[in-house]
Amino acid sequence: MGTLGISDHCFNAPQERVKYKGKDANYQWGGHHWTQTTWNKVHIIKAVYEYGVNVIHSDTDVVWFGDPLPFFHERLSGPVHVIMATDAVATGNPVGDTGLEISTNPFTNINTGIYFIKQYAGGLDMFKAWLDWQDKNIGHDQDGFNTMARGSGFRHEDKHLPPAVLPPDAAAKRYFLAAMHNTTGVSFLPASMFGNTYTYVNARLWEKLQHPLYAIHWVWGGSTLESKRQNMRDAMKFHDEPEYYTSPQLVTFDMDLLPMPDDYNDWKMTEEMIRFHVQAANHQLQQAYYAFAIALIANRTLVMPRFQCYCAKNWYQTQQCRINFEKATTFPFTCALSHVLRVKKLEAGFRLPENTEYSGHRVFVREYSFLDNPKVPDALKKSFVEIVPSQMPRAANLGVDDLVLSVEPAPRGYGQRVTVAAPLVDRELRAVLGRFKNVRVLHFPQPARTLSGFSTYATWEQYDVEIQKHVAYWCCRTPPDMQSMNLTDKVQLVALPPERYKNLAAHGGKSSYLHEMGPIRRMPGQIF
């Protein structure tokens, strides 16, 4: 931050205040090193708080969309001292209610990724009570705060604590910390305004409720650092160096979608919804199959499309394709990329092994919002050629010079539209694209009709194997559904076209392929 000139408001965290100084090369969620490191944050925030300031805490995987200071300034007076974010995927606040969470209660899981603590007489005592839980094997800092809030009579009960006390008026939007003998008022930040990946990507709560969007904590949306970074890039909220926006030669493509049933958002049949979603996702991935191949052949960067999702992906069960019985999500929504592809593998670049004619090529990806980003130069965007397949049957015995049928201005007002005798095999596509080496954006409205495949059998086989390694799975069914219908919790998505299914790896255990499932069989009298 100092190198960026942000030095006058920096706080150098005093390392002597950090209680845990251990190291671990395998930094894993839920592990001892991770758990103790979360407590270190609380020690440092307490040191900041001792300067007599009000504190807004933000984890490094939080992105701010708006200035929250007016929101917090309005709450400096009154009985609420601590305002916490939560792990909620819904809010009780109606349209236009931009205050604290109306559903505030001590049994909602708080999330310490974002919180506000104002200066008050019991503030330091509150921090001490919170930190006292570190050595009691309670878990991470969130578990400590939740236990401190709930007091006795809950999962991590402490017989020495009183139970939490709710005010008689629910509209007060607060409760009192049991550990502080009900002298510290706690409220929650609504998930619509201080949200997470689920409320931002899936439910889009702030749009539907007309709430201002202040921050997103990129949890509930992929298990890897790369998944979080991709979500930030999709939202145009990640800082990349200028070369990221100015250097690539691009391939873009359009997708057609399966028609969604008109009443789909009202369906109650979760298994039917899962199967439609997987079918729709496979339909989109099978178009991306050809787009990735085109980008590999051209040795260009591929801009991701706006994949559409018809079911939430999670690490535990869904109900009517939503999480925790929330009702706000409407389908389809634009998927997080990790819902359909393995982002960590894509960041390393898609490539084939060294024994193919494309072994020196590598396909990197850009987010679906890339060409909407003002950081991308207009000159790059307007260096544009659209490659479209002819609607006429392809003539026999065409030479390389006969593959381009026409060249005309592109309908978008800049660039060219090039009509080709389709479908082309890879060597023919290379010859056509050789004419446009200096064009920055090659757009393919119908990649599956433009490219037929690879002319070398071994290359095509290897491509099938490698592209499928980059495809994600959908998860998860409920245990009762798995048991009653003899189903797996995961469904592996498939990018290969049906005629290439012979190259799919055998699946078993916790996942299955849609095309290998039988019809839905329910137990007699089963309610769904």
Exposure class string for 23-57: b at 16+ Cβ within 10 A, else e: eeeeeeeeeeeebbbbbbbbbbbbbebeeeeebbb
Which pair of tokens denotes residue 43?
């020690």
Q: How confident is the model at residue 357 (pLDDT cuts 50, 70, 90)?
A: very high
Q: Per the structure block, which two tokens stand in for 416?
A: 């060219």
pLDDT at site 157: 53
At residue 222 the predicted structure's pLDDT band, cuts being 50, 70 and 90, is confident
Angle subtended at Cα 402 by Cα 396 and Cα 404, rounded to the nearest 5 degrees:
115
Contacts of 451 by beta carbon, 8 Å cutoff, 6+ apart? 290, 293, 294, 297, 423, 424, 425, 426, 429
Radius of gyration of the chain (CA): 27
Amino acid at position 458, single letter: A
d(CA 459, CA 5): 51
Rounded to 10 degrees, what is the CA torsion of 115, 116, 117, 119?
170
pLDDT digit string (tens) for 49-86? 999 999 999 999 999 999 999 999 999 998 899 999 99
Three-class SS of residue 406?
strand
Query: For the residues 376-382, what does the mean pLDDT come to?
Result: 98
Q: How sure is the predictor about 18, in pLDDT bands with cuts at 50, 70 and 90? A: confident
Q: What integer pLDDT is reported at residue 528 of this predicted model?
A: 44
| pLDDT of 159 | 64
- pLDDT at residue 73, rounded to an integer: 96
- Which residue(s) pair with 319 in the sheet? 322
Assess contact for 242 and 478: CB atoms under 8 A: no
Instruction: Please report, as a single letter, which amino acid is at residue 351.
Output: R
Residue 466 has pLDDT above 90, yes or no: yes
Spatial contact of 385 and 408, defined as CB atoms under 8 Å apart: no
Q: Which residues contact 77 (CB under 8 A, 6 or more apart)?
A: none
Sheet containing 194-196: give its strands across. 62-64, 215-217, 194-196
Q: What is the pLDDT of residues 87-128, one digit of tens each?
A: 999 999 999 999 999 989 888 999 999 999 999 999 999 999
Query: What pLDDT digit, counting tens, does each position of 468-478 carry?
Result: 999 999 999 99
Residue 152 pLDDT: 63
